[in-house]
Amino acid sequence: MTRMLIIGPPGSGKGTQAARISERLDVPAISTGDIFRDNVRRETPLGVQAREFMDAGDFVPDSVTNSMVRDRLANEDVRDGFLLDGYPRTASQVAELDDILSENALELDVVLQLTADDEELVRRLLGRAQLDGRSDDTERVIRHRLGLYHDQTEVVVSRYEERGIVLRVNGLGPIDEITERIMSALKVSS
C-alpha cells in the first residue's frame, strides 16, 4: 500500500512522473491541476471561478480545493493507495489532509519532492505554453507561480521533513532517467 504525494515547483515534471509512478505502483494519481483544467475547459461554475485564479498564476482557494480532495479521497479506488499531485500546497491544506486521512486511520507514507532550477523551469514552461496554447503560462505568470511555490509550498515540505517522510529527487534530465531515479529512491525508502 502506498499513500504518497509528489511535490515540486511548476514545470518540474510532477504530472508526467505522477502518471508513471501511478502506473508502476498501481495506485490512482489524483491531480488537482487536471481537475481544475477539465472544469475550465467545460466552463463549469467551478471552472469559471478557478480560471480567474489560474490565469493570474494564483492558487485556487483552499476551501474549493479541500472539498474537492476530500470528495476524491472518499472514492473506493484509493483504498489501497494513491498519489496526490498538486495538493497539499499550503500549511492549511496539510492540516486538512491530515484530518481527511486520520478520519480513515491513514497517514502518508512518503512525500516525493522533485527539485529543479528556476531558470530551467521558466524555459520549460514557456516552451509548453507555445505547444499547448496555455493561457496561464506567460513569463510573468510563471515567475509569479514560482514565487508562490517558494513562499508557500516549501512550508509544506518542511512539515513533512519533520515527520521524516520526504525524498528529494533531481527533476532535471531525460524523463526515463528521472523515473528511474524516483523508483530507486522509493525502493530505498520502503
32 labelled binding-site residue: yes
* pLDDT at 159 (0 to 100): 94
3 labelled binding-site residue: no
Average pLDDT over residues 125-136: 81
Please, what is the angle between helix 32-42 and helix 45-55, to 10°? 110
Instruction: Give the model's confidence band at 181: pLDDT under 50 very low, under 70 low, under 90 confident, else very high.
Output: very high
> Which of 136, 116, 119 is closest to 60 using CA atoms?
136
* pLDDT at 1 (0 to 100): 64
pLDDT exceeds cutoff 80 at 104: yes
10 labelled binding-site residue: no
Global pTM?
A: 0.83
* pLDDT at 180 (0 to 100): 96
Instruction: Give the model's confidence band at 5: pLDDT under 50 very low, under 70 low, under 90 confident, else very high.
Output: very high
Amino acid at 138: T
Instruction: Give the model's confidence band at 174: pLDDT under 50 very low, under 70 low, under 90 confident, else very high.
Output: very high
* pLDDT at 136 (0 to 100): 66
89 labelled binding-site residue: yes
173 labelled binding-site residue: yes
* Spatial distance between the Cα atoms of 42 and 27, rounded to a whole number of angstroms: 27
* Spatial distance between the Cα atoms of 59 and 160, rounded to a whole number of angstroms: 21
Instruction: Give the model's confidence band at 133: pLDDT under 50 very low, under 70 low, under 90 confident, else very high.
Output: confident
Average pLDDT over residues 155-162: 94
Tell me which residues are annotated as active site: 14, 89, 128, 134, 145
62 to each of 67, 83, 87, 95, how far by Cα in Å?
8, 19, 10, 11
Average pLDDT over residues 91-111: 92
* pLDDT at 28 (0 to 100): 94
* pLDDT at 188 (0 to 100): 67
* pLDDT at 61 (0 to 100): 85
184 labelled binding-site residue: no
- Residues 25-73 have pLDDT tens digits of 999 999 887 777 777 888 878 778 888 887 887 878 887 788 778 878 8
DSSP string, 90-137: SHHHHHHHHHHHHTTT----EEEEEE--HHHHHHHHHHHHHHH--TT-
Domains and CATH numbers, the chain: 2-183 (3.40.50.300)
